[in-house]
Amino acid sequence: MKVGILGFGNVAAATIEAFTTNQDLIRSKTETPIEFVRVATRTPSRAQGRVPGGCVVSDDCWAVVDDPQIDVVLELMGNVKLGRELVLRALSNSKHVITANKALLAQHGEEIMQMADQAGCSVLFEGAVAVSIPIIKTLRESAAANRISSIIGILNGTSNYVLSQMSEHGVDFATAVADAQRKGYAEADPTLDVNGEDAAHKLTLLASLAFDVPINFSAVEFKGIAEIDQVDIEFAKRLAHQVKLIAQARLESGGIAISVQPTLVPDRSMLARVGGSMNGISLQGDLLGPAFLYGSGAGGRQTSSAVLADLLELANRGGPNGAGGGHNMGFRPRGTGQTEVRYCNDRVGAFYIRLRLDDKAGALAKVSTVLADANVSINSLLQDQGLDGLSDLIVITHDISSGQLRDMLPYLQQAAGPGHTVVIYPVLGDCGC
Ligand code: HSE
């Protein structure tokens, strides 16, 4: 099986290095010889001396996807526009594709998977989501006979690292982001990490596999962590919760609710214990019940593990060039018989509400009247000592609908007073883990 690589960044370099270091083991797992024959990168000098003998290095990407001897293309560039063109061309030339590019698949996955199905080729992407966690194979294979009811995860290591640093060490947001960049967790553009978009890309792919629905990035509502106030992290802790960036897709009565947003996670949940740059995913299926997967979410070496597993999967698929592995997102071609899908933004659940109030008689009464009028029951209540005549009142509600929350919001703002803060986060309910 002859392999070409697009890009020679950390992941590509780590993949070649891991392949070389573990070559005896890898060879023992397949009867198909695997050979790296071409690398294309903008700066070929980076790859010189770091690729196996006989592997041609150039700056010509098209030479990789058009090379008739190549069976498999590893797309490890991370670029969406050029990545799309190259992947489509590789597939039209009957080459399998392995990619870690979640933005590419989230935005153009349907087109790519349809082209792959037509060409009878595979697109494998274990390295695109939560690299050390084999979640793609879990959903595509191990849990394939389940009706999945929810998939809830911490899918972005950078934002989890930032929130952990803020919570455990009181570090400010900008310092923690710079630290995550230095440690190599962040995307080239860390905005995608902290604004929730990277997690939304990953969730798009997981939701498609879990619920057998088209890959539809535009259906995902996402919000990031940049506006989280240290004050809310501290109040959450006092109420036995952690603030986490939670990506979740779940079956609700109205359809599939799919979002990425800062969420209070109860300390008793395993997701609350996912610290630093780690990722965690909780899955509920009708047969397997609750399951929890934990591992690194970033890193060249960790991604190489997923990429090489995909390569071995292709090598062991029977046909001389890795053909015959079924369809890429499940067991039938895209566009046939997928679940009728409705996305709904409404959810029922508990909410954390913080209001900054004038610290004077009757302030709490006004808020409790608003809650009572909206038929919202209080689960926990906390008020701080107050400073400069202002005081924070924190309420965790019992389960309410998003509609109830929306209707009540203007009245809460009124009760808090003009210009006073009202902060609202969802609280994660029982997810079995
Ligand atoms: N930048 C990503 C993260 C890693 O921080 O999780 C690659 O997906």
User: 187 is written with which tokens?
Assistant: 């995307």
pLDDT score of 334 more than 70: no
Judge if the beta carbon of residue 294 lies within 6 A of ligand 1.
no
Supply the pLDDT for residue 197: 97
Supply the pLDDT for residue 326: 58
Judge if the beta carbon of residue 198 lies within 6 A of ligand 1.
yes
CATH class of the structural domain 348-427: alpha beta
- For residues 333 and 277, give the distance between their C-alpha atoms in angstroms, rounded to a whole number: 35
Supply the pLDDT for residue 327: 62
Average pLDDT over residues 128-132: 96
202 catalytic residue (yes or no): yes
Q: How confident is the model at residue 338 (pLDDT cuts 50, 70, 90)?
A: low
Average pLDDT over residues 59-65: 98
Q: Cα Rg for the chain, rounded, in angstroms?
A: 24
Q: What are phi and psi of 49, to 5 degrees?
A: 80, -5
Nearest ligand 1 atom to the CA of 161 is: 5
Supply the pLDDT for residue 321: 54
CA distances from 144 to 147, 193, 331, 405 (A): 8, 30, 9, 36
Average pLDDT over residues 280-300: 96
- For residues 212 and 145, give the distance between their C-alpha atoms in angstroms, rounded to a whole number: 12
pLDDT score of 349 more than 90: yes
pLDDT score of 133 more than 80: yes
- Give helix 81-92 / helix 102-119 axis angle, nearest 10°: 20
- For residues 231 and 238, give the distance between their C-alpha atoms in angstroms, rounded to a whole number: 11
What pTM was computed for the model? Answer: 0.94
pLDDT in tens, 360-374: 899 899 999 999 999
- For residues 59 and 119, give the distance between their C-alpha atoms in angstroms, rounded to a whole number: 27
pLDDT score of 92 more than 60: yes
Cβ-contact 151, 246 below 8 angstroms: no
Alpha helices (runs of H) in 66-101, residue ranges in sequence order: 81-92
Judge if the beta carbon of residue 185 lies within 6 A of ligand 1.
yes
Catalytic member of 95, 102, 202, 244: 202
Ordered by start, the domain boundaries in the chain are 2-131+300-321, 135-296, 348-427
Phi-psi category of residue 302: left, alpha or beta, with phi > 0 → left and psi -120 to 50 → alpha:
alpha
In sequence order, the β-bridge partners of residue 395 are: 353, 381
Judge if the beta carbon of residue 297 lies within 6 A of ligand 1.
yes
Distance 190 CA to ligand 1 centre (A): 9
pLDDT score of 341 more than 80: no
Supply the pLDDT for residue 254: 76
Average pLDDT over residues 15-22: 97
Average pLDDT, the chain: 92
Q: How confident is the model at residue 318 (pLDDT cuts 50, 70, 90)?
A: low
Q: How confident is the model at residue 319 (pLDDT cuts 50, 70, 90)?
A: low
User: 367 is written with which tokens?
Assistant: 């808020």
pLDDT score of 143 more than 60: yes
Average pLDDT over residues 267-278: 96
Residues ≥6 apart with Cβ < 8 Å to 337: none
pLDDT in tens, 194-251: 999 999 999 999 999 999 889 999 999 999 999 999 999 999 999 999 999 999 999 8
Supply the pLDDT for residue 395: 96
Cβ-contact 159, 194 below 8 angstroms: yes
CA distances from 196 to 89, 126, 159, 210, 223 (A): 30, 20, 8, 20, 5
User: 356 is written with which tokens?
Assistant: 């900054």
- For residues 247 and 426, give the distance between their C-alpha atoms in angstroms, rounded to a whole number: 12
Supply the pLDDT for residue 184: 85
Pocket test for ligand 1, best of 187, 192, 307 (most atoms within 8 A of CB): 187
* C-alpha 331: how far from chain center: 23
Does CATH number 3.40.50.720 belong to domain 2-131+300-321?
Answer: yes
DSSP string covering 17-69, please? HHHHHTHHHHHHT-SS--EEEEEE-S-HHHHTTSS-TT-EEES-HHHHHT-TT
Domain 135-296, second-level architecture: 2-Layer Sandwich (3.30)
Nearest ligand 1 atom to the CA of 185 is: 5
User: 393 is written with which tokens?
Assistant: 């009142």
